[in-house]
Chain A
Amino acid sequence: MTVYNEVDILLVEDNPDDLELALHALRREHLANNIFVVRDGEEAVEFLFCTGRFQDRSFENPPRLVLLDLKLPKLTGLEVLKLVKNDPRTKAVPVVVLTASREERDLVSSYNLGANSYIQKPVDFDQFREIVKSTGLYWIVINQHPISNPATMAARP
């Protein structure tokens, strides 16, 4: 399905409240036309590696940003991160860890495994929304994502 190939942000989140807040924050800023949600580590891996449910997806059209929770069913966020950042086909996709964890160990492991960045979810809802918004803005607007197909570069008027 073509819609799987035009995903701007892949949101990997199993907590329904956090998911709702994140979606709301991202949509409000019109940062992305196409936000796709997966709720466990296995689905995330299938999506990014174009297998299983997502075999129609193509490596040529990776999401521009992956927001990855660490605490996930089936496969943990760190395991997903390791798989994605160790494979040349997916290594370049920007993955930002968005987690409730306060463990220094998780932070260090994430950066070591190649996470592009690490964000701690604030407890406060407003702050959470703010942080998602700013993260989205930075990674979608300021940051240049790897372009596998030059056609995606906006032509200058």
Chain B
Amino acid sequence: MSSTPKILLVDDNPADANLTCEVLATSERQTQVSTVGDGEQALQFLHRSGQFADAVRPDLIILDLNLPRKDGRAVLAEVKADPELNELPVVIFTTSHAPRDIARCYELGANSYVSKPGNLGQFFSAVRSIENFWFGFASLPD
């Protein structure tokens, strides 16, 4: 991946989305983040349809679970069922610690599941770790 890594951030809470973007912005590594607030927009973005006709294909999807219009699990299921999209790594990033949610996401094909910590320092670490691992160590499809 030679160009700037692109992230699709799907989160309906502007405060959380803002925080995530803050962490990414303060990193030494440059990333390009597109944020959408609901599940339907997320899929439109990935299919480059409607208002997202000019969208760029992301390298990583950071996906919250509780979203309006179409919830995170539905988005996950659709992405992983679509041969065009299923190779995209999806990191679930959500407040839920419920084992049921975690198990369900893995069943649907989530690549990784990270719980949003309540504490700022840990939140920073979590986002930083996600960024470092997926763009620093893992190899992603072009």
> Given A134-B132, A138-B129, is A111 in contact with B141 using a C-beta cutoff of 8 Å?
yes
Contact A117 B87 (CB under 8 A): no
Q: How large is the interface on B (under 10, 10 to 19, 20 to 34, 35 or more residues)?
A: 20 to 34
User: Which DSSP category, helix, strand, loop or mixed, fits chain A's interface?
Assistant: mixed
List the one stretch of B34-42, B63-71, B99-107 in contact with chain A: B99-107
Complexed CA–CA distance, A146 and B102 (Å): 6
Identify whether the interface residues of B are mostly helix, strand, loop, or mixed: mixed
Task: Report A93-134 CB contacts with B as 1/0, cut-off 8 Å.
Answer: 010000000001001100110101111100000000001001
Q: Is the CB of A143 within 8 A of B137?
A: no
User: Are A108 and B141 also in contact (CB < 8 A) when A142-B130, A146-B103, A146-B106 are?
Assistant: yes
Flag whether A150 is at the interface (Cβ < 8 A): yes
In the complex, A3 has a CB within 8 A of chain B: no
Write the residues of chain B forming the contact surface with A, with a CB cutoff of 8 angstroms: 83, 86-87, 89, 97, 99, 102-103, 106-107, 109, 111-115, 126, 129-130, 132-134, 136-142
Q: List 28 A-B contacts (CB under 8 A).
A: A91-B107, A94-B106, A94-B112, A104-B142, A108-B141, A111-B141, A112-B83, A117-B89, A117-B112, A117-B134, A118-B139, A118-B140, A131-B137, A134-B133, A134-B136, A135-B133, A138-B132, A143-B114, A144-B97, A144-B102, A144-B114, A145-B102, A145-B113, A146-B99, A146-B102, A146-B103, A146-B106, A153-B99
